[in-house]
Structure formats: C-alpha cells, structure tokens
Structure 1
Amino acid sequence: MTGPVAITGVDVVAPGGIGKDAFWDLLSSGRTATRPITAFDPSRFRSRMAAECDFDAEACGLTPQEIRRMDRAAQFAVVSARGAVADAGLDLPAIPPERIGVSVGSAVGCTVGLEEEYVVLSDGGRKWLVDSEYAVPHLYGYMVPSTLAVETAWQVGAEGPVSLTSTGCTSGLDAVGHGAQLVAEGSADVVLAGATDAPLSPITSACFDAIRATSSRNDDPEHASRPFDATRDGFVLGEGAAMMVLESAERAHRRGARVYGYLAGFAGRSNAFHMTGLKPDGREMAEAIRAALDQARVDPGDVDYVNAHGSGTKQNDRHETAAFKRSLGQRAWEIPVSSVKSMVGHSLGAIGSIEVAACALALHHQVVPPTANLHHADPECDLDYVPITARDHAMDVVLSVGSGFGGFQSALVMTRTPVPR
C-alpha cells in the first residue's frame, strides 16, 4: 500500500442477524449464535452444531431468478455488497464502471450447490458415473469459485479489476488486503471487498470430523465455541459474508463520506510446514504482523486492540499467543485481544472479512467485542482475552490476524485516522 484506504461502507450477513446493526448488537452484547444444525440431518456426525444464518433470500431483495441461479454463498455476497453500497451512500452510476473493482474471498466456493447437485446426478451416490441430463443449467457456475466475484461485480456494475481469492481461512483478510492495494495503487477508485462462504453441508462436516478439528460439545452448542479457554475442544463451523466499500482517503473526504477506519497495512506469510499443523513459536504469524505494522508505519506500542483468529483449537490458540508475544513484545500483555468466532463460529474463508467488519465497527463505537464462553483461563494463553463482556476502550489502531490450513498467516492494520506519510 502507498496510502491509507478508507472503509466507507460495511454490511454483514452473519449468524444471529442480517445486516451490520444486528451483527454489532450480537457482538457487543456477547451473545452466541451457535446451535444444533438445521440445514441438514447431522445425526451421523461427531460435531452436530454450527452458527447458521437465518437468511431469507427473498426478504433480502433477491428475485426468484437470482435465487434459482445463485448458490447460497453467492446470495450472501450479493446481499452484503448491496448493503455496503447503500451504507456508503455511493452513487454508482456516477462512477465510471472501469474504475469500480471487486475483490472477493472464499475458501470452499459453492459447496451447498455442488453437494446438492452431486446427490441428484449420482442418484443419491448410487451411480459412479453421474447422469448429466439431470444437471441444472447453472452447475458450471457452482464448479467455478470465481462465480462469486462475478455475481458481485454484476450487482455493482464493476468493469475494473475483479478477482476471487481462495487461501483457506485467510481468504477474507487477503481479499480485503488485495482490494485495499487496488485502491492504493490507483487501479480502481472504488472497490467492493470482502468474502463469503456457506460451507454447512454433510461433506464439510465429514471433512472436519475426520481431523477432529471441530467441537464435539453437542449437548451445549451455545457454549461450544470457547477460544483461549482451558476446556476448548475445537471450533464450531459457521457461515456468512461481509463486504466493504473501499476508496482512497482523499476521495472519501472529498465527498463527505463517513469513514469507519483506514486500512493502513497488510501482509501475508506462509509457514511452508504442514497442511493443518502449526509450529508453537508463531514465527510466521509474527512476521506477518511485523510487516503489516511496518507498512502502516505503526509501532507495536501503538496497537490498541487485536482481533485474534481465535479458532478455539488447542494448537491455534497457543500459536497465536506466542505470535503476539513475539511481534508485540511486552505490549502484548497490555493490549485487549478477543475472538468473535466465540459468537459467530468459524465461517472458513468468510470469517476474515467478517472480522474486519467487526474491527471497523469496534473502532466506530470504541468498544472491544468480547471472547464469549471464556470462563477457565488457559495458563498457556495468558494475555488479556476480554472474557464474556464487551469493553469500552479508546482505540486508534487495531490489528486483525488470520491463520489458514496450508500454512497461511495474514495480518491487517486498521487506524481510526489516516497515518501521516
């Protein structure tokens, strides 16, 4: 990045409520949206709970044709993109279409549509060779993850740079970072950036069951997601989307736009180590944090809040704690840190953008969202993880981090005011 990029519009499709206001109400009250799965029969699985979105596509303004054409993840993206544009007060027809860009992230693409169609085409799995005569006309669109970016671009008339980022659980952070870079380098005047995932399906549950990454606390789903707690036993799947309007600070100020915050630094690293494993020292995440802070021209001592990846697995929470100490030094023990996954679950590629939206709203309201369900402190996770209750807190600099299968480590720095260059 060569300059701060303003976030002027935010909208969220999330468990517990549709829209940024419902989302913030959930976070600031410390409520959880995790519950038994209703999207399909989960009885055969080890983990039978999730954070589902109560999403009515028609009530959210999608037409019957759009609903028929689009996978659930695409519907989430389109609805949140429309909401972000409205929130930003953009006059899209007044912007040259070639100056509008889109950057969307997703880890698993159109999972729901693909699985539903495979069940039909294979006659419930009985046929090895599927029968194409039963395919819906839009099956190819389900097969190609870039469809999510295309649908979003069509909605906003974007003829500038349009891309799909798929880097596992850091996809949302990476897509927002890429969108900010497009604005900073002058490739677009306005970028719709964010991510979407609707992974709640039998195949996803089976995959995470196999590696025992998800919680098995099915008797208490409301309290199953408990990052940094000594009794944690894995994450709880979620779904959702968040989209943001990004534009240069100069453009935002010129048109008198409300600014939630400024994206000042972004960096990503890889551990080149293991598909699902993490080294305990947190070195690669620490490197990403340092690089993002350097890019933003912010010192570790200036960070006021850290939005953690905080998945609730034993190794991730220890890895992150080590990374914060390694990158932030003594200041790590003084900075409030929290994980919103405790409330909205882990929506894979979407969660990074949902967490960026949470950071923007935290800056706007000057409130740190809590880590719900954190009742038993883990001696190995000994930082200030803001348990149970949101906290009023003066913030000028916020750090958000992500960690993804495959070794991806990402960090993004957001500031309340533009950092002098």
Structure 2
Amino acid sequence: MTSHGRRVVITGVEVIAPGGVGADAFWNLLSEGRTATRGITFFDPAPFRSRVAAEVDFDPYAHGLTPREARRMDRAAQFAVVAARGAVADSGIDVGAYDPYRVGVTVGSAVGATMSLDEDYRTVSDGGRLDLVDHAYADPFFYGYFVPSSFAAEVALAVGAQGPSSVVSAGCTSGLDSVGYAVELIREGTTDVMVAGASDAPISPITMACFDAIKATTPRHDDPAHASRPFDGTRNGFVLGEGAAVFVLEELQSARRRGAHVYAEIAGYATRSNAYHMTGLRPDGAEMAEAIRVALDEARMNGDEIDYVNAHGSGTKQNDRHETAAFKRSLGEHAYRTPVSSIKSMVGHSLGAIGSIEIAACALAMKHHVVPPTANLHTPDPECDLDYVPLTARERRTDAVLTVGSGFGGFQSAMVLARPERTAR
C-alpha cells in the first residue's frame, strides 16, 4: 500500500518520567503543574556549576525486571524495556498473534549508556588515576554499554519483535525521529506493528561537566524546584532530566478491527537541519518552521487547525526565541491564538528521550482535552510573546496537536498528532 493508504495510530503508551513511573503518574504531574526538578542525588554535585536535575525514582525490581536483566542493562535500557512492556500491556495487543518478522522496534537515545560507561571508566582507571586503564576490572557487560544498539535488542527481546530493530540517535530530536521512522516503516508496508519510543539516563558527572562547559544548564541550584523556566525572562539554562516513553504503533484499520483504544493518529512528521552551528540557532527559526510546514503538509492540514503546540521549550534564551519565531513563521496569525507550553518546566530535559515523552504528553492532552502548563513562568520575556499557558493547566478541546524538537547539531523535527476522524482522507 502507499504511504497515504496506511494510516498509523498510537494504541499503547507508557512513560517513565521524573515525578512518577507510569502514564497516569506522569499526566497527574503535568495537569497539576507540579515540578519534579531537585538537587542532584546520584552523585556529589558540589564541583559542578549546575547542581540540579530531574531524577526518576525508579526501582527496576519493583517494575518487573529480573536481577539478571537489571544486572546486564544500563539504566536507560531498563527504562526502555519497562516502558515497552507497559505500552504493549496498555495497547492490549497480542504481539504473538502477529508474524514476528512484521513487528519492529525503534528506540531513540542521544547519549546511550552514559551512566554505565561513566561508572566503568572510573573503575578501570582507578578514579581517573591511571592513564593506561586496566581492562580486567571492566564490567562483563561493558560491550552492551558501549553500543547503543543494545537498547533496541533488549526491547525486541522483551516484546518478541523479530522485524526491523534499530536505534535512532540524533541528539535531542531522537525521541521524535525514532517514532517518525517507525511510522514510515508501517506506512511503506514493511511492518504491521512497531514498538517505538526513546530513553535516556544521562545524569552523570561526565554529562554535567559537558553542559557546564558551554553553560547550557542552569546554575540556579539554590531553588531547584523552580530552576526550569522556559520562556520566562529570568531563565538561564535548562535542567537535565532522564526518562523514557514508548508507544505501540499500528495501522488504523487493524487497530479498529481488534477494538483497540486509539490515542491519536500520527498524521505528519518531518525533520530538517540548519547546517549552521553545533549549538547555535538562527534567530528567524526558518529550519524549524520548514519542518513544521512539511509535517502539516503531510498531514494535509493547515496551520490554523492546530489546537495546541507542545514546544521544545528548553529554557535557554536562544532556543525559546528561535522557537517563538518559528511558530509565527509557520502558523502565521494563528500562532497568537494557539496555546503553547513546555513540559520541560516540570520534568526537565531528558535529551534524546524528551521527544517521545512529549509525544506522550500530547496524546494524553488529547485524551483529557487539557493543555499542560508551562510551570515557573512568572516574568514573560517580551520577545516570547505567544500564549505560553503559564502556571496552570487549561481545559481545551485538542483534536490536532503539533510537537517539535530542536537538537544540538542543528536538528529540527516536527510531528502532527490528530484524531483519526479529523484527518479522514
């Protein structure tokens, strides 16, 4: 069938995020406008410029992993597997009833097994003392940490998928791009079901040091609960987070035949690059606007049909201004009438995982007809003059939602989610 013949929908959602494990806990946090940012507890943050993060309270055994699974998997892989099992359960799908070669997996991750690699390096180098490391002290599962493809392999094993299995790593757009790639595999007829999403667990000394060096993360460690302030005039960097979100994607008619609950159709997706600078963004937002335009075109929708925009909203000055310009450029006057918010104000920025976590937020916003707020937005930046839904969630019918991502390297991605009846061909 052609790409326009096979329509792809989300029928299962699971989220592991700061503030609570599970889609329900995640949505409760967002809808109540609570923040899950706090002082770092995973290691001593005293030497670092930024000492806050959005950590997940996660016990692998409490969430069904065996001691062997927990032993061999990095924390991010654990997140991915638990979220994948949860998404399959939520969808009610019997994966075993499908041809296993037509069930695939895509996992997005920006930094892979950072936590395990960081810990292992400290061990083999004797805390950095040795120039020539001693491999005899390496973890026996070190190779699995070194290759991010192990994430997709673990998820495929967990759900019994023998079709295409891959990791998408495109920095902070990985969570959008992995789902976008999965959609294309179903549309083109290669697979019937995809278990797709993203996971990252980057809260480690090496990651904090990297972001400290470029002053991308906030130094507001004296007030961690209010440190993430997207679109606020006092913002001064993002708060690093962690987490995962995984979805079951399938063809619309197949989902309807089995009576599945459909959260949303993934109606359009596009990604672009600015070919400009590793961390810099052009102020006009042209590349993000182009990704939005193409995603809307694929969805066969106009900009004025969008009911809510989930912003990248990292809380850095240049990103928030860049995004504001992109929304105006792509949506025109409708941008001023459309609620926009950033959930990073509540759950931080989990790098490659956040794109999928934000897709989950959009699907749940559509389910509940509630737009999550931008927490900590007390002093709007005059240059960010759209409706950024400050502080309090808002009831609003959401039939079509736009979610976007922006990543180091110049990556810009956009996705349109819509109710299937709204996008009937």
TM class, shorter-chain normalised? Answer: over 0.9
Question: What does residue range 236-251 of structure 1 map to in structure 2 within 5 Å?
Answer: 236-251=239-254
In the alignment, the residues of structure 1 paired with residue 398 and residue 201 of structure 2 have an alpha-carbon distance, to the nearest angstrom, of 32
In the alignment, the residues of structure 1 paired with residue 22 and residue 187 of structure 2 have an alpha-carbon distance, to the nearest angstrom, of 27
Give the 3-state SS of the residue equivalent to 2:105 in structure 1.
strand
* 2:255 is aligned with 1:252: yes
Equivalent position of 1:16 in the other structure: 19
Conservation of the 8 A alpha-carbon contact between 1:225 and 1:341:
yes
Structure 2 residue corresponding to 1:409, chosen from 393, 406, 412: 412
Q: Root-mean-square deviation (CA), in Å? A: 0.7
* 2:361 is aligned with 1:352: no
Question: What does residue range 311-390 of structure 1 map to in structure 2 within 5 Å?
Answer: 311-390=314-393
Give the 3-state SS of the residue equivalent to 2:270 in structure 1.
strand
Q: TM-score, normalising length from structure 2?
A: 0.98
Give the 3-state SS of the residue equivalent to 1:58 in structure 2.
coil
Equivalent position of 2:111 in the other structure: 108
Please report how far the alpha carbon of residue 417 of structure 1 lies from its aligned counterpart in structure 2 after TM superposition. 2.2
Structure 1 residue corresponding to 2:32, chosen from 16, 29, 34: 29
* 2:165 is aligned with 1:162: yes
Equivalent position of 1:286 in the other structure: 289
Equivalent position of 1:78 in the other structure: 81
Structure 1 residue corresponding to 2:222, chosen from 219, 224, 237: 219
Please report how far the alpha carbon of residue 216 of structure 1 lies from its aligned counterpart in structure 2 after TM superposition. 0.7
Conservation of the 8 A alpha-carbon contact between 1:114 and 1:142:
yes
In the alignment, the residues of structure 1 paired with residue 385 and residue 139 of structure 2 have an alpha-carbon distance, to the nearest angstrom, of 52
Q: TM-score, normalising length from structure 1?
A: 0.99
Equivalent position of 2:148 in the other structure: 145
The one-letter code matched in structure 2 to 1:192 is V
Please report how far the alpha carbon of residue 184 of structure 1 lies from its aligned counterpart in structure 2 after TM superposition. 1.3
* 2:159 is aligned with 1:171: no
Q: Gapped runs of 5+ residues in structure 1?
A: none
Please report how far the alpha carbon of residue 90 of structure 1 lies from its aligned counterpart in structure 2 after TM superposition. 1.1
The one-letter code matched in structure 2 to 1:67 is A
Equivalent position of 2:135 in the other structure: 132
Deviations 1:6-39 (A, max 9, x none): 1000000100000000000000000000000001
Please report how far the alpha carbon of residue 129 of structure 1 lies from its aligned counterpart in structure 2 after TM superposition. 1.2
In the alignment, the residues of structure 2 paired with residue 283 and residue 102 of structure 1 have an alpha-carbon distance, to the nearest angstrom, of 32
Deviations 1:140-176 (A, max 9, x none): 0100011111111110111101110000000000001
Deviations 1:249-303 (A, max 9, x none): 1111010000110000000000000000000000000000000000000100101
In the alignment, the residues of structure 2 paired with residue 382 and residue 285 of structure 1 have an alpha-carbon distance, to the nearest angstrom, of 18
Equivalent position of 1:47 in the other structure: 50
Structure 1 residue corresponding to 2:121, chosen from 118, 121, 128: 118
In the alignment, the residues of structure 2 paired with residue 237 and residue 316 of structure 1 have an alpha-carbon distance, to the nearest angstrom, of 15
Please report how far the alpha carbon of residue 137 of structure 1 lies from its aligned counterpart in structure 2 after TM superposition. 1.3
* 2:401 is aligned with 1:398: yes
Give the 3-state SS of the residue equivalent to 1:241 in structure 2.
strand
Please report how far the alpha carbon of residue 4 of structure 1 lies from its aligned counterpart in structure 2 after TM superposition. 2.7
Deviations 1:195-220 (A, max 9, x none): 00000000000000000000111110
The one-letter code matched in structure 1 to 2:256 is H
In the alignment, the residues of structure 1 paired with residue 218 and residue 137 of structure 2 have an alpha-carbon distance, to the nearest angstrom, of 37
Equivalent position of 1:69 in the other structure: 72
Equivalent position of 2:275 in the other structure: 272
* 2:184 is aligned with 1:181: yes
Please report how far the alpha carbon of residue 185 of structure 1 lies from its aligned counterpart in structure 2 after TM superposition. 1.3
Conservation of the 8 A alpha-carbon contact between 1:396 and 1:417:
no
Equivalent position of 2:424 in the other structure: 420
* 2:195 is aligned with 1:200: no
The one-letter code matched in structure 2 to 1:381 is C
* Alignment size in residue pairs: 421
The one-letter code matched in structure 1 to 2:179 is V
In the alignment, the residues of structure 1 paired with residue 141 and residue 149 of structure 2 have an alpha-carbon distance, to the nearest angstrom, of 13
Deviations 1:89-143 (A, max 9, x none): 0112111111110011000000000010000001111111111111111100100
The one-letter code matched in structure 2 to 1:62 is L
Conservation of the 8 A alpha-carbon contact between 1:214 and 1:233:
yes
Give the 3-state SS of the residue equivalent to 1:370 in structure 2.
coil
In the alignment, the residues of structure 2 paired with residue 72 and residue 132 of structure 1 have an alpha-carbon distance, to the nearest angstrom, of 22
Consecutive aligned runs of 4 or more in structure 1 exceeding 2 Å deviation: 1-4
The one-letter code matched in structure 2 to 1:304 is D
The one-letter code matched in structure 2 to 1:141 is G
The one-letter code matched in structure 2 to 1:92 is V
Give the 3-state SS of the residue equivalent to 1:243 in structure 2.
strand
Please report how far the alpha carbon of residue 420 of structure 1 lies from its aligned counterpart in structure 2 after TM superposition. 2.2
The one-letter code matched in structure 2 to 1:175 is S
The one-letter code matched in structure 2 to 1:231 is T
In the alignment, the residues of structure 2 paired with residue 377 and residue 405 of structure 1 have an alpha-carbon distance, to the nearest angstrom, of 25
Give the 3-state SS of the residue equivalent to 2:173 in structure 1.
helix
In the alignment, the residues of structure 2 paired with residue 186 and residue 306 of structure 1 have an alpha-carbon distance, to the nearest angstrom, of 30
Conservation of the 8 A alpha-carbon contact between 1:160 and 1:188:
yes
